[in-house]
Structure 1
Amino acid sequence: MKRGITDSIEDETKLSGLLFNKSKAIVEKLKRNIESKDVDLKPVWIDEDDIHLAANTIPNKKSKVLQSERLKQKFESIMGTPNWAKIGNKQDSEDETSKIIQKVGHVHKKKSLTLPKNYLEVRKFPNINSETKSEGKVISCVEFHPKLSAALVGGQSGIVSLFSIGGDTNNKLHSFRLKKWKVTAAYFSPDGSQAYLASELDHSYCLYDLVKAKPKLHQLPLCVKRPKIFKLSPNGKYLAVSDGFDEIHIICAKSNERLRSLKHNSKVVSVAFDHNCQQLYCYCVQGDITIWDLSTYRALKKFYDNGCVNASCITDSPCGKLLAAGSKEGIVNIYDTANLDGPSPFPIKTISNLTTKITDIKFNATSEIMAVSSNCYPNAVKLVHIPSYHVFSNFPQQSFNYNNVQTMNFSPNSGYMALGNDKGAAYLFRLKYYKNY
C-alpha cells in the first residue's frame, strides 16, 4: 500500500517536472494579513499663524503649545467640533468609501452573475504554436489539459506538440512525431496523465504517456480498419470508433478490448457521449439519431433530426441538458434532452447563421457558449449565447482573417478558447468574463 502511494507521488512529480521545469515563470501567491494600526494623529496641515503666535495673546499662558490648546478648547466650546475634524474608526472609513464607490458607477463595476448576451469580451493572445509552426498546414486538433495550463496541438504533419498556456508567450514543453500519420483526433484522459491520438489513415491509435514523455502505438480491433470516428468518453473508460459505416464499436480504453458493436441501418457520421457517460448518441447520414444505453447496449430511442437532409456533426453539452445536431446545409438544431422521450422531439432552437457544412460544435464548460464552425468557408465560425441563443456580433472580428477553421475548443474553466485553421495556426483567445484557466 505504501509503495502504491509512493509511486503515485513520484508520477505526479515527474508530470509536474515535465510540464513546468522548462518554464521558470511560476508566480507564487502571497497571502498578506494586514494588521490594524493605531490612528495617526498628526495634523493634516500646519497653520503658520500658530507658529508666530505671540506669547501674550492669552494672559497667563506663556507657552505656545499651551496657547494653541487653549484656543482650540475655546473654539470648540463656542462652535463645537466640525465633522471633518472628528476621528472615526477604520470601519466607518471603509463604510464611507463603500458608499462613494456605489455612487460613482464608473469607478466600481460589479461582475454580472450571468454571461452578457450581446457582447463577449475577447482578447487575442499569441498563437499557441507560434514557437514551432511545424504541426502541419492543417491543424486538426487542439486540446487543453484538464489539470494544468497546457495545450496539445496536432495536425497533418504527424507532429504533436505540448505548450504551456498563458502570458505573452506560449513555451513549447515537448514535441514528438508519428511517422506517416495525420492526426485527426486527440483527447486527454480525465486525470491528464495520458493523451489519446488517432489518425483516419492508420489502423492503430497512439497512447502518449505524459509522465514518461513517450508515445506508444496500440492496434485497434480487426473490425476497425481506419478510425474515421474516434471518440473518448468524458470519464475515460470508453472509446467509440468506426470506419464510417453502419457500426460503432465500443472499446475499453484501459484494456483495448472491444466490448460491443452497435449496429445501425445507415452510415454513422458522428457520435457523442452524454455528460455522465451512460448513453451514446449516434447521428446517421440521413438525419436519424439513435440513443444507446451503454450499460445494456440497447437502443433506447430513435428519432429524426427535424429538417435534416444530410447529417454532419452532433455534440452533447457538459451540463447534459442540450443536444446539438449540425447538418451539411449549415443548420444546427438544439434539443432539450429532457424532451427526447416523446414520439417526435422538436428542437427548442435552430441556428442558421452559417450556410455551409457544419464540421464542429463545441460547448464551453458552463454550457453558456456554443461554438459552431464550418471548414468549407473562411471565417465561418459563430459563438452562440446560451440560453438566449443570440449570436455574439463581435466575434469573429471582421478585421482579422481566421481562414478555414478546422477545430475549436475551450479550456476547462472557459478562460481560454482555441481555433485551429488550414494555415498551420492554432489561435488562442482570452475570454475575460471567465477568470480561471
Structure 2
Amino acid sequence: MQRAAAPAPCPGSVEKKKKIKKKKKTKKMTKVVNRLQPRADEAAAAEEAAAQQAAEEASRRARHLQALGRASGAERELEELVFGDSLSVGEDELLQRLAGPQWLKATEGKSLRDDSSDSEVENEAKGEILSKKPAWVDEDDEAEENVDMTHKYRKDFMKSDAEKVLTKKKLKRRLEEQFQRAMGGVPAWADLENRKKHKRIASDSDSHEDEDDDLLCRTGNFISNSESLPKGILKMSTCLPANQERFADGRLVTVQFHPSAQVVMTAGHDRSVSLFQTKELISTMKVNGRCTATAFTPDSSKIYSYSKEGEVFIWDVRSRKCLHKFEDEGSLEGKCIAVSKNNQYVACGSASGVVNLYTTDVCLKENHPKPVKAIMNLVTSATCVTFNPTTEILAVASREADEAVKLVHIPSYTVFSNFPVFRRKQIYLAQSMDFSPRSGFFSVANNKGKALLFRLKHYSDF
C-alpha cells in the first residue's frame, strides 16, 4: 500500500521565522553594546583626565621656571648655596646635575680644596711655633747619662766584666732584648704594623672587648684608686682562654700570673710550661708528716707547710727553723694552703671540703687557733685556695667535681652569688687558680687543657 506525500511548507511561514530570528539577534547585540558602552565612556574620561593633568603639570613647571627667573638676589644666593649655581639652566638639566655623579665630584672637590686650605693654615701656624728656639738649654740634658751595671738588680744584664757601665740607651736595648727572649719574640701587641692592620680589620662592635684587652696590651705598674669591693654580685665578663694560642693536650695543673710582667704561666701533663726558670737547690727542711701544700708569706720571710695529718708548720726562711706549729681545726687530711697578700689571713683547705680562714697573728701564737670563718660551700675536697692581691676575694675550688669554684668576699665572708653561673658547663674540673697582679683578671686552669680567663670589672688595672 502506497503512503501519501508530505505537504509542502507554506512560503509565508518560512519568511516569518527568519524575521523573528533576525529580531532576536538584533536585541542581543543591542544588549551587548549597552553593556560595553559605560566602560568605553570610563576609558575616555580617564584619558581626558590624564591629558588635563599633564597640561596642568606643564603649566605648573612653566610658572615655576618663571618664578625662579624673577627671584630676588638674596633668594638666588640661598638657592645657589643649596642647589649649586645651576639655576640658569632648564629644570630637567638641573635635576640631572643634582642627581648625577659629576655634580657630586665637583662638590667633593670643592670641599677638599677648602679642607686643604685650612690644613695649610694650620701647618703654617705649627711651623711658626716649631721654628721658635728654646729659651735656654740645659747642658746636663744633652749629656749622655751612664748607668752603673754592678748594682745587684742590674748584674744579670752584664754580658762581660767590661760592661760595668752602660749608657741609658744601651741598657734600654738590653732590656728590650731580654723581654723579647722571655716572650719568645716580639709580642703581637708590640708590633706597630700588626696593630695598625688589626685596627683596620676590627669592627666597631668589638669596642667593649678591646676595652678589656687594652689592659693586656700595656706593661708596667698601674696605680688607681678603687673603692672597696661590695659583696653580693661580682661584675665580671668571660674572655678568651689565656692559653688560646696553644691548649694543653691534657689537664692543666698550674696557672699563674707573673708578679710584674703581663705574662700568664700554664703547666700541665703534656710536658710543657709556657714560661719557667730553674734554680739550684738551696736547702731542705724536714717536716714531721707528709707535706701536701706550701705557701710563702708576701715578704718571703716565712713558709707555711701543710701536712696530710692536718698540721701547719711555720718556717723561718733564713734560719730554716720551725717557728711555730698549729692544728687546722677539724681537718682529717690537709689539701691546700694560701697566705693573703697583706699577710693578714691564712686559708687551709681539707679533704672534707671545709676551708678554714685564720688570722696570721693567732696562727703564730696558738696551737689550736679558732678560724674567723669556716667556708663550707664545697661538697668535695678543697684542692685549691688563693687570695686576690687586695685581699678582698678568696677563691676556693675542688678538682673532684665540675664547676666547683667559689669566690668568697672578704671581710663579709659571703660567697658571690653570680659565680659560677652559666647555662652550660665551662669550668669543668678546676686544677689551679690565680689572680692577675692588680686583680683585673682571674684565671682557672681546668682538666680540658684550657686556662679560662675572666675580667673582674671592679678593678681597672691588670
Q: Tell me the TM-score normalized by structure 1.
A: 0.57
- Output the CA distance in 2 between the equivalents of 1:277 and 1:146: 14
Structure-1 residue corresponding to 2:313: 290
Q: Is the 8 A contact 1:282 1:290 kept in 2?
A: yes
Kept in 1, the 8 Å contact 2:326–2:366? The answer is: no
Q: Which residue of 1 aligns with 2:111?
A: none
Paired residues of 1:383 and 1:391 also in contact (CA < 8 A): yes
Contact 1:139 1:421 in 2 (8 A): yes
Higher strand share: 1
Q: 1:386 to 1:26 in 2, by over 3 A?
A: farther
TM-superposition CA deviations, 1:127-167 (whole Å, max 9, x none): 1222222x2220122222333333222211113336xxxxx
- Asked whether the 8 Å contact 2:335–2:351 carries over to 1, the reply is yes
CA 410–26 in structure 1, closer or farther in 2 if over 3 Å, else same = farther
Shift of 1:297: 2.2
Post-superposition shift, 1:342?
2.7
Provide the residue aligned with 2:397 in structure 1: 373
Contact 1:136/1:159 (8 A) holds in 2: no
Distance in 1 (CA, whole Å) between partners of 2:332 and 2:348 is 12
Q: Which moved more, 1:352-361 or 1:138-147?
A: 138-147
Q: Which residue of 2 aligns with 1:156?
A: 269
- Name the structure 2 match of 1:236: none
Task: After superposing the two structures, state which structure 1 stretch, 342-351 or 16-25, moved more.
Answer: 16-25
Tell whether the 8 Å contact from 2:296 to 2:302 is kept in structure 1 after alignment: yes
Q: CA deviation at 1:10?
A: 4.0
- Written as runs of structure 1 = structure 2, the 5 A alignment for 1:349-364 is 349-364=373-388
Which structure has the bigger radius of gyration? 2
1:328: Cα distance to partner?
0.6
- Relative to structure 1, the CA distance from residue 125 to residue 299 in structure 2 (aligned partners, 3 Å threshold; closer, same or farther) is same
SS in 1 for 2:254: strand
Query: Are residues 1:15 and 2:178 paired?
Result: yes
1:24 deviation in Å?
Answer: 4.2
Runs of 4+ in 1 over 4 A off after TM superposition: 24-27
Is the Cα–Cα contact under 8 Å of residues 339 and 345 in structure 1 kept in the other structure? yes
The equivalent position to 1:303 in structure 2, one of 318, 323, 326, is 326
**CA shift for structure 1 position 404:** 0.5
Q: Residues 372-391 of structure 1 correspond to what in structure 2 (within 5 A)?
A: 372-391=396-415
Q: 1:269 aligns with which of 282, 292, 295?
A: 292
Residue 298 (structure 1) shift: 2.1
Give the deviation of 1:424 after TM superposition. 1.6
Correspondence 1:404 to 2:429: yes
Deviations 1:62-99 (A, max 9, x none): xxxxxxxxxxxxxxxxxxxxxxxxxxxxxxxxxxxxxx
- Tell me the residue number matched to 2:253: 140
Deviation at 1:270, TM superposition (A): 1.1
Q: Corresponding residue for 1:280?
A: 303
For residue 396 of structure 2, what is the amino acid of its counterpart?
A: V
Deviation at 1:421, TM superposition (A): 0.7
Alpha-carbon RMSD across the aligned residues, in angstroms, is 2.1
Cα offset for 1:355?
1.2
Distance of 1:375 and 1:277 partners within structure 2: 28
Cα distance, 1:343 vs. partner? 4.3
Structure 1 residue 430: deviation in Å? 0.5
Q: How many residues align?
A: 263
- What is the Cα deviation at residue 286 of structure 1? 1.2
Counting only pairs closer than 5 Å after superposition, residues 112-131 of structure 1 correspond to structure 2 as 113-131=227-245
1:308 aligns to what SS in structure 2?
Answer: coil
How far does residue 403 in structure 1 lie from its aligned partner after superposition? 0.8
More helix by share: 2
User: Pairwise mapping of residues 226-237 of structure 1 onto structure 2 (< 5 A)?
Assistant: none
Q: 1:117 to 1:321 in 2, by over 3 A?
A: same
Counterpart pick for 1:348 among 358, 368, 372: 372
Look up the SS of the partner of 1:262 in the other structure: coil
Aligned to 1:159, what secondary structure does the other structure show? coil
Q: SS in structure 2 opposite 1:388?
A: coil
Q: Counterpart of 1:263 in 2: which secondary structure?
A: coil
Contact residue 254 and residue 268 of structure 2 kept, 8 A: yes
Q: Per the alignment, do residues 417 and 4 of structure 1 end up closer, same or farther by CA in structure 2, a change over 3 Å counting?
A: farther
Matching residue's letter, 1:12: L
State whether residues 328 and 368 of structure 2, in contact with CA within 8 Å, keep that contact through their aligned partners in structure 1.
Answer: no
Q: Deviations over 1:315-342 (max 9, x none)?
A: 1111101000000110000110112213
Question: 1:213-266 CA deviation, whole Å, 9 max, x = no partner?
Answer: xxxxxxxxxxxxxxxxxxxxxxxxxxxxxxxxxxxxxxxx4xx2433x322332
Aligned to 2:208: none
Q: Percent of aligned positions with the same letter in both sequences?
A: 35
Q: Structure 1 residue 8: deviation in Å? A: 5.0
Structure 2 counterpart SS, 1:338 = helix
**Contact 1:384/1:392 (8 A) holds in 2:** yes
Q: 1:289 to 1:397 in 2, by over 3 A?
A: same
Change (3 A) 1:25 1:280: closer
CA contact (8 A) 1:379 1:404 kept: yes
TM-score by length of 2: 0.54
* Distance change (3 Å), C-alpha of 1:118 and 1:24: closer
| Structure 1 pair 355–272 and aligned structure 2 pair: CA distance change class (3 A) | same
